[in-house]
């Protein structure tokens, strides 16, 4: 079944006849804006019939030359594009491989620049230094020992009685 717009266009063009015309005119009563559209369509049709003749070209050779140049420019662009496609083969596969290689190269460069190279255990420029130690019991003496090659500081306590074994596990 035709839509209202299709039947309206056929009505404006004068293609509806008989019962189809009668049914459409009853349906047209439900669309009051259609009368204004019909008047506009009639004006447009009359204008097109009055001005249907194309203007005469004053310089036909110049017009033809412009058309030929546009056609040649379009063909040159198409030829260059097809030549590029022949060079690249399948088209997207070489671009995909090139893009993947570029991503791997960029990832390797970032890896090398962000993660420092060298020995896995480097001596840190930061270290702790025990300046003084005051034990609460005067019979206990505290001394510090620093090992530069291991980069370790040890606090040695003399005078402790003993440490029970179960206190170390808790």
Which spans in 13-164 are helix H? 18-28, 33-50, 60-88, 92-114
> Is the model more confident about 29 or about 76?
29
Residue 59 pLDDT exceeds 90: no
**Distance in angstroms between the alpha carbons of the first and the last residue of the chain:** 90
Structure token pair of residue 52: 């249907």
Query: How remote is the C-alpha of 102 from its chain's centroid?
Result: 18
Residue 78 — very low, low, confident or very high, per pLDDT cuts 50/70/90?
low
pLDDT > 90: what percent of the chain?
5
Residue 159 — very low, low, confident or very high, per pLDDT cuts 50/70/90?
confident
Query: What is the domain partition of the chain in residue ranges?
Result: 4-50
CA distance 5 to 9: 6
Residue 121 pLDDT exceeds 70: no
Q: CA-CA distances (angstroms) from residue 31 to 20, 149, 160?
A: 17, 97, 107
Q: What is the mean pLDDT of residues 81-104?
A: 74
């Amino acid at each position: 079944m035709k839509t209202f717009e299709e039947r309206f266009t056929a009505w404006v063009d004068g293609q509806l006849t008989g019962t189809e015309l009668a049914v459409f005119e009853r349906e047209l009563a439900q669309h009051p804006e259609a009368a204004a559209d019909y008047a506009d369509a009639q004006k447009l049709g009359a204008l097109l019939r009055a001005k249907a003749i194309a203007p005469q070209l004053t310089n036909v050779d110049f017009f033809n030359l412009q058309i030929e140049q546009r056609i040649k420019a379009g063909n040159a662009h198409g030829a260059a594009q097809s030549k590029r496609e022949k060079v690249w083969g399948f088209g997207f596969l070489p671009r995909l491989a090139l893009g993947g290689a570029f991503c791997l190269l960029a990832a390797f460069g970032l890896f090398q620049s962000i993660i420092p190279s060298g020995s896995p255990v480097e001596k840190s420029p930061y270290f702790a230094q025990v300046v003084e130690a005051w034990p609460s019991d005067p019979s206990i003496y505290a001394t510090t020992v620093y090992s530069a090659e291991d980069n370790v500081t040890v606090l040695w306590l003399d005078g402790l009685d003993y440490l029970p074994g179960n206190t170390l596990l808790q």
